[in-house]
Structure 1
Amino acid sequence: MNQALNSEWMDLAAGRGGLAAGVIAAGVVVVAVLIGAFFLGSRVRRRESPPPTPEEQPRMPEGGPVREVSEHREPSEMPRSDTRLTPHELPNHGNAPTRTGPATERPRWDEGSSGSFGSGGPGGG
């Protein structure tokens, strides 16, 4: 009986030993792939052009940073026609600039005036 119990433990230990050897082999393969990827990446990096020097960096224009221009434009008039016009038949279809319109103040939100949810508070406009 003791001999049979010992044999079962040996078979069980041998099975776990095979599993442990497989896990170790998989770990070695993963480490080898990571090392190979590191060396391949360093070879690719050596072939790339070097980063730009400070003299090669872009410079700010002499007049300072470029700002956004906000202006009002006059709309182009839509021609009256009894037939349907195609886009290439329309005048100024993106090629000719429109004229600058009169400068008007855009409406702004005033504190205490109505908003999208009602009067904006007691006594508001």
Structure 2
Amino acid sequence: MNALGSTYAFPDPSTSVVPFVGGLVIAVALIWAVWLGIRLRRREPGPPDPADQPKLPADGPVREIREMREPDEVPRTQDGRERLTPHELHGQGTMPSRRSPDQTRRRWSRGNSGAFGSGGPGST
């Protein structure tokens, strides 16, 4: 038997102990994280009671309203300037739009372009 034969019979303890200790540390950390999550979850309020849930209005569900609105045109300058700045526009976006007296919906017609700004020939 040679001098190296004894090292093969008794391997270095760090090759088997270090991975075991590392795995043990990871397992303890995972158990601690689950335990902490359970404790935090118990502190949270429970689900709302059925009485706290939203109720339907007395006149029934809210319906969709479809109507044609008049466009809010950009006003022209009076002194010949090229354009208005945002603070010169009326309402600054808070002015309500108006209901159009003509409630017929505009439909697509042959010869018009397919989509806004596409510039295509429309239907071919």
Task: Give the TM-score taking structure 1 as reference length.
Answer: 0.69
Q: In the alignment, does 2:3 pair up with 1:4?
A: yes
SS in 2 for 1:29: helix
Structure 2: how far apart are the matches of 1:89 and 1:42? 59
Q: In the alignment, does 2:66 pair up with 1:67?
A: no
Aligned residues: 114
SS in 2 for 1:93: helix
**Residues 10-55 of structure 1 deviation map (CA, whole Å, 9 limit, x = unaligned):** 3xx523x422211111111111111111121122122222211121
Task: Give the TM-score taking structure 2 as reference length.
Answer: 0.69
Provide the residue aligned with 2:118 in structure 1.
none
In structure 1, the gaps of 5 or more residues are 110-114
Structure 2: how far apart are the matches of 1:67 and 1:77? 29
Identity %: 41
**Residues 60-95 of structure 1 deviation map (CA, whole Å, 9 limit, x = unaligned):** 223333233332211123322112422222123322
- Per mean C-alpha deviation after superposition, the further-off stretch among 34-43 and 57-66 is 57-66
Aligned 1:29-68 pairs, distance under 5 A: 29-68=25-64
Provide the residue aligned with 1:14 in structure 2.
11
In structure 2, the gaps of 5 or more residues are 116-120
Structure 1 residue identity aligned to 2:95: A
Q: Say what the alpha-carbon RMSD is for the aligned residues.
A: 3.2
Provide the residue aligned with 1:112 in structure 2.
none
Which 4+ residue blocks in structure 1 deviate beyond 4 angstroms? none
Q: In the alignment, does 2:89 pair up with 1:90?
A: yes
Structure 2: how far apart are the matches of 1:90 and 1:26? 69
Q: In the alignment, does 2:99 pair up with 1:103?
A: no
CA distance 1:106–1:63, shift in 2 (3 Å): farther
Structure 1 residue identity aligned to 2:11: A
